[in-house]
Amino acid sequence: MTALSAAFTVLSYCAAGVFFGGLLFQLWGYATTPSPLKIPVTPHPTTAAGVVKKNIIALATFGSLFKGNRWTWIGGYAFHVILIFVFVRHLRLFINPVPPLLAEIQPVALLGAMLLPLPLIYLWVRRKAVDRYDYISSPADHFALALLLLIGLTGLALKFVAHSDVVRIKEFLLGLVMLSPVEIPAHPVFLCHFSLVLILAIFFPFSKLLHAGGVFFTPTRVQVDNPRESRHINPWGN
Amino acid sequence: MAKTDFEIPKLEHPVKIPAIMEGASSHLSIHPANEQMKTKLGFPEKRVDNWQETAIAKLGELKDKYRSLKIFLDVCVKCGSCADKCHYFLGTGDPNNMPVARQELMRKVYRKNFTIGGKLFGSLARAEDLTEEVLKEWVTYFHQCSQCRRCSVFCPFGIDTAEITMAAREIMDSIGVGHKYSLEIIGKVHDTGNNLGIPKPALTSTLEFLEEDVKETTGADVKFPLDVEGAEVLMVVPSADFFSSPHVDSLVGYAKVFHAAGVSFTFSSHASEFANFGMFVGNYAQMQKIAGRIVQAAHDLKVKRIVVGECGHAWRVAYSFWNTLVGPFDFLDQAHPAPQHICEFTNGLIKRGALKLDKSANDEFTVTFHDSCNVARASRMGDTPGGQFEIPREILKATCNKYVEMPEEVNRERTFCCGGGGGLLTDELMELRVKGAAPKAAALKEMMDEKGVNVMAMICAICKAQFTKVLPYYDIPMETVGGVHQFVSNAIQLGDK
Ligand code: SF4
Ligand code: SF4
């Protein structure tokens, strides 16, 4: 194995370790931190089923953001929908053989995934252009946008500009997943794309991107509004 | 219009989002608590020598005790959805009054001390030490949040700035930096049973006076009993209901409803107050102790039910927290919710046809309803979500011929705070209170001009006190403020029982 392949293989496993380990650590922290009091923001469902339903709708629509600001909602919603396309687009590189359904929807997925830079650029411009958003933005916020945008652009370049050998990329990725690493394709754009993804994986669990997991634990949204009907116990109370 | 040394916002509905003006409300700060107030509640009498370490340790403790705090400090994506939703930002234009920026005041200290990014990258990750400067920001801007939860409604993750404000105040108290207003009041409630510091003899004579007054005006023997053992209901109210206007008109309404229903009730001198400022300062032990007095009174007076009066934050504490703090309530009559809101009680009677109401008694009024934050966004009434909106409205519609709704974008779950909640109902913050009231006052003004509204009814003692004080700054008479049970009181026909 070349030194390049060896380095990327080690880095890949490190990044995966940080990503999954970090995510697990953070979410475990949320799950095990007590909620001393009932604090749902009302009006709110009075049954567990109602709460599940409300949150599924919230996840599917980003309703609170919609209520808050339509223009941000358009960008944010589009971005997250496109992420699903991107996911579908990349799934085929990790599964062998590719299931027929997954193969069939690839053209649609590609069409969606191609749009990734648009909402990112839109949100970034908005962040700079509106005085309130500019005020609250930190280098970390710009970094997250830059990283995602670069990943998107290098990804698109791989497809449309500097064409790469997708079969070899798939062999490499499958090798990593199957724990029998093979040589990495030494295609410069692919190496860029892949490195950026590794950086994202390391950044993710320790940044605001953690919202993707935290949202499932937010007491104001996931508690049931039934404090009189059923006594909520504070684990550290008396 | 009252004389002021600050500019009074022009009322515009819908409210305009101001351009940010850094430091616009940085001069508005609180009066610090004195040593005696602090030691009485077990807080350090002076700022402790190692205040930074102590504060950081407290922050660490709180984030491990409150999942809300831990998650909220991590997951904000700075989308800005909440940024223009706070009445204090809308009223002052100070960027630190944007909910997300208020949170950032704590988050930057959290990052510096508890996150990998903050430790590695420092200011690049917007991580900062808790310096003298930052503490000053905390004191200032965590006392420019009324814990109204409006921002949370618009946050994709339900981040509730109130949770962060409460934690910040708890941290500040723990290093000996406290707010005079809240700590003084908590001291009084322990000494006298109520926030106003009313001693029992004064309470007795007030209640006697009310009895005579109602007898004179209605001819009915409506009772205002105090410390009567064996009464069916323990009635706990915000103590302003005994002395302030228009609060007292609602108190008379409660008593008339009990009279008409033939249900015996009593106030308690041990727990004449239902407000709980323990919540405002984020102190669990105080909140529990203050709530505990009421349960003690219920035991002592051997009542079967607890009904509470018109107060927003206190209803939140009672409805959402009592069962956890001082429950279970299995010693009470299980046929009724414990605690029960007076609006639930009254509306139940109205629905059963048990009250005789003459709506024409309120014909001089065109009434609208202001949803108080803590009732709207932190509690419920009745069995179904949103009952907290419907029940008081049903009462108003049953007692008034002329009722009109305020626009939904400033009411119900999106209601704007009166500007005086969360422990900010104090004179030194008058400028903030006036400016923070602007969005709601603008909507009211429009209702007055367009729909002929002349009263805004509400069920919160703080809202009532705040609006009677600040609406005159906008040339709206203080008489525009009313309590829901005041209209019940006007309309109810007592016969000659
Ligand atoms: S809780 Fe209310 S007062 Fe506090 S930041 Fe949010 S909107 Fe403003
Ligand atoms: S709405 Fe929520 S996530 Fe967005 S900036 Fe405000 S607190 Fe942060």
Q: What is the DSSP string of B158-220?
A: ---HHHHHHHHHHHHHHTT--BHHHHHHHHHHHHHSSTT---HHHHHHHHHHHHHHHHHHH--
Structure tokens at B418: 């009166």
* Burial class for A144, CB neighbours closer than 10 Å (0-12, 13-18, 19+): buried
Minimum Cα–Cα distance from A36: chain B residue: B66
Residue from B114, B112, B35, B4 nearest B70 by CA: B114
pLDDT tens, B31-47?
999 999 999 999 999 99
Q: Are A78 and A66 in contact (CB under 8 A)?
A: no
Confidence of residue B2 (pLDDT cuts 50, 70, 90): low
CA-CA-CA-CA torsion for B193, B199, B201, B207, nearest 10 degrees?
Answer: -60
CA-based torsion, B414, B310, B337, B286: positive or negative? positive
CA B147 from centre of chain: 9
Q: Compare all CA atoms of chain B with the CA of A229 and give the residue at the minimum distance.
A: B337
DSSP track, B328-362: --TTS-TTS-SSEEHHHHHHHHHHTT-S-B-GGGG
Nearest CA distance, B255 vs chain A (angstrom)? 25
Q: What is the pLDDT of residue A1?
A: 86
Do B195 and B175 contact (CB within 8 A), yes or no? no
Closest approach of A73 to chain B, Cα-based (Å): 9
Protein residue closest via CA to atom 4 of ligand 2: B79
Nearest CB partner across the interface for B77, out of A39, A211, A217: A211
Contact A135 B320 (CB under 8 A): no
Beta strands per DSSP E along B185-334: 233-236, 265-266, 305-308
Tokens of B398: 């049953």
Residue with token string 């205002």:
B224
How are beta strands B367-369 and B455-458 bridged, if at all? parallel
pLDDT at A163: 86
**Residue from B68, B69, B75, B76 whose mutation best tests the ligand 2 pocket (most atoms within 8 A of CB):** B76
Tell me the β-bridge partners of B305.
B233
Residue A12's Cα: distance from chain center in Å? 18
B94-140 confidence digits (pLDDT tens): 999 999 999 999 999 999 999 999 999 998 899 999 999 999 999 99
* Identity of the residue in B81, B116, B386 whose CB atom sits nearest the CB atom of A69: B81
Q: What are the distances in angstroms from CA B393 to CA B313, B314, B397, B457?
A: 19, 20, 6, 10
Nearest residue on chain B to A230, judged by CA atoms? B323
Ligand nearest the Cα atom of residue B415: 1
φ/ψ of B204, rounded to 5, equals -60, -45
Verify cis geometry, omega within 30 degrees of 0, for the bond prior to A235.
no
Burial of B497 (0-12, 13-18, 19+ CB in 10 A): exposed
The per-residue pLDDT for range B24-80, each reduced to its tens digit, is 999 999 999 999 999 999 999 999 999 999 999 999 999 999 999 999 999 999 999
User: Nearest-CA neighbor of B366 among B408, B346, B396, B407?
Assistant: B396
Closest residue by CA, ligand 2 atom 1: B155
For residue B4, name the pLDDT band (cuts at 50, 70, 90).
Answer: confident
Q: Whole-number mean pLDDT of chain A?
A: 96
With beta carbons less than 8 A apart as the criterion, state whether B45 and B38 touch.
Answer: yes
Domain with CATH 1.10.1060 in chain B: 44-177
A18 close contact with B: CB closer than 8 A: no
- Name the nearest CA neighbour of B316 among B280, B283, B359: B280
Distances (CA, A) of A120 to A80, A83, A136, B9, B156: 10, 11, 18, 37, 18
Q: How far is Cα B111 from Cα B473, in angstroms, rounded to an integer?
A: 42
User: Which residues face B236 on adjacent strands?
Assistant: B308
For the entire predicted model, the pTM comes to: 0.96
Within an 8 Å CB–CB cutoff, is residue A173 touching chain B? no
pLDDT score at B497: 44
Pick the CATH number of B44-177 from 1.20.120, 1.10.1060, 3.30.420, 3.40.50: 1.10.1060
Q: Which of B158, B8, B201 is nearest to B71 (CA)?
A: B158
Mean of the per-residue pLDDT values for chain B? 96
pLDDT tens digits along B128-140: 999 999 999 999 9
CA angle B231, B234, B235 (to 5 degrees): 125
- Could you give the CA distance from residue B84 to residue A70 in angstroms, rounded to a whole number? 13
Backbone angle region of B419, left / alpha / beta, with phi > 0 → left and psi within -120 to 50 → alpha: left
Note whether B81 contacts A72, CB cutoff 8 Å.
yes
Which parts of chain A register pLDDT below 70?
none
The CATH number that domain A3-23+80-217 falls under is 1.20.950.20
**Do B184 and B33 touch, CB atoms closer than 8 A?**
yes
Nearest chain B residue (CA) to A232:
B324
Q: Is the dihedral of CA A207, A209, A215, A220 positive or negative?
A: positive
A163-180: b (≥16 Cβ within 10 Å) or e? ebeeebbbbbbbbbeeee
Give the pLDDT confidence of B433-474 residue by residue, as tens digits. 999 999 999 999 999 999 999 999 999 999 999 999 999 999
Strand B305-308 versus strand B265-266 pairing type: unpaired
Measured from CB, residues less than 6 Å from any atom of ligand 1 are B 85-86, 88, 99, 102, 145-151, 161-162, 417
Across the interface, of B116, B376, B386, the residue whose CB is closest to A206 is B116
Asked if the C-beta of B63 comes within 8 angstroms of chain A's C-beta atoms, the answer is yes
In whole angstroms, what is the distance from residue B381 CA to residue B337 CA? 10
Q: Do the chains contact at B65 and A221, CB–CB below 8 Å?
A: no
The answer to whether residue B1 scores a pLDDT higher than 80 is: no
Q: What is the pLDDT of residues A24-68, one digit of tens each?
A: 999 999 999 999 999 999 999 999 999 999 999 999 999 999 999
Coil, helix or strand for A232? Answer: coil
d(CA B452, CA B458): 18
pLDDT of residue A103: 96
- What residue ranges in B354-469 does DSSP mark as E strands? 367-369, 455-458
The closest of A105, A101, A143 to A124, measured between CA atoms, is A143
Q: What SS3 class is residue B455?
A: strand
Helix (H, G, I), strand (E, B) or coil at A141: helix
CB B167, CB B282: distance < 8 Å: yes
Contact between B149 and A30 using a beta-carbon 8 Å cutoff: no
* List of E strands, B212-300: 233-236, 265-266
> Looking at the predicted structure, is the pLDDT value of residue B329 above 60?
yes
Order of all β-strands in the sheet with B367-369? B367-369, B455-458, B481-483
B229: number of Cβ within 10 Å = 9
Q: What is the DSSP letter of B236?
A: E
Q: In A, which residues are within 8 Å of B320 by CB distance?
A: 37-39, 227
Residue B238 backbone phi and psi in degrees, to 5: -70, 140
Q: What residues of A are in contact with residue B414 (Cβ under 8 Å)?
A: 67
- Helices vs strands, H then E, count in chain A: 13, 0
Signed CA dihedral, B190, B193, B196, B199: sign only: negative
Which of A152, A150, A113, A144 has its CA nearest to residue A127? A144
Nearest-ligand number for the alpha carbon of B161:
1
pLDDT at residue B366 is higher than 80: yes
